[in-house]
Amino acid sequence: MQSADTVFAGSIPALYDQYLGPALFEPYAVDLAGRLTGLAAGSLLEIAAGTGRVTRAMARTLPPAVSIIASDLNQAMVDFAAAQPIARPVAWRQADALALPFFDDSFDVVVCQFGVMFFPDKMAGYREALRVLKPGGRFLFNVWGPIEANEFGRVTTEALAALFPDDPPLFLARTPYGYHDPGAIATQLQGAGFTSVAIDTVTLTSELPSADHLAIGFCQGSPLQSEIEARRPGGLAAVTDAVTVVIAARLGPGPISGGMQAHVVTAAR
């Protein structure tokens, strides 16, 4: 993984949430929040909270007796998420998931939506989640399946490969869709000290209003932005337009739909 893969700053959080949030992230946020319905009280920590899609879903569904702390490595993400309307108060923190600023045995649940793929050291992140969980606590998170099972990511990556055949931007395949082996994930969690691991595969269909929504979301609302600008300085808008043309040729101008797949992991301390 390249260090730039974890940087979500500048205009990226707003574009990420506006263009990708409703179609790609909201359905899985609702799914994760729904898996916590039995939690009546206690404390919950969200790591790599991003723009707060899961945070807002949990604030809608969990009772007030469950306190929520939402954290992210990127202050820009924290600032954007904290500025969005939410059903009830949440504590927002900038925090590195690999070095959490919380005491041992502090939380009943740790939640993470599509964040562990960005951890430079997965085992360190898993050990930190284990450390801050109370005995019997749960670590609930999801990761994308392979890019071949996620049509929007695949089509965008193929469009960029056609534009940059000698040096294709591979952020999507490398990082968001690059950590998807259930067996390897379970082995790492058990190696970090979790006592049991259950993994469900959830397949859904995503819809976006137009091809340019997808192109803007990925090309300008993710670290792909820096990869494109490094290859074509000043050409981000033109590349986004070219990717839009390819997506429209493959999926239609809009509305467009594509299959998506994620693995949902529950690990117990």
118, 168, 182, 224 from 172: Cα distances, Å = 11, 11, 19, 8
pLDDT at 101 over 80: yes
229, 239, 242 from 211: Cα distances, Å = 21, 14, 11
Instruction: Please give the residue range of the domain that contains residue 78.
Output: 3-268
pLDDT at 221 over 70: yes
7-46 confidence digits (pLDDT tens): 787 889 999 999 999 999 999 999 999 999 899 999 999 9
Cβ-contact 257, 206 below 8 angstroms: yes
Cβ-contact 60, 33 below 8 angstroms: yes
48-95 confidence digits (pLDDT tens): 999 999 999 999 999 999 999 999 999 999 999 999 999 999 999 999
Domains identified in the chain, total number: 1
Name the maximum alpha-carbon separation found in the chain. Answer: 55
The rounded distance, in Å, linking the Cα atoms of 107 and 132 is 6
* Residue in 235, 173, 246, 165 with CA at minimum distance from that of residue 212: 246
Q: Once rounded to an integer, what is the mean pLDDT over residues 260-264?
A: 98
Taking the model in full, what pTM does it have? 0.95
CATH number at residue 177: 3.40.50.150
Fill in the DSSP letter of residue 2. Answer: -
The rounded distance, in Å, linking the Cα atoms of 251 and 153 is 13
Q: Once rounded to an integer, what is the mean pLDDT over residues 129-155?
A: 98
Dihedral sign for Cα atoms in the order 116, 121, 125, 127: positive
Q: Once rounded to an integer, what is the mean pLDDT over residues 113-136?
A: 97
pLDDT at 149 over 60: yes
Distance of CA 178 to the CA centre of its chain: 12
Tokens of 73: 């490595």
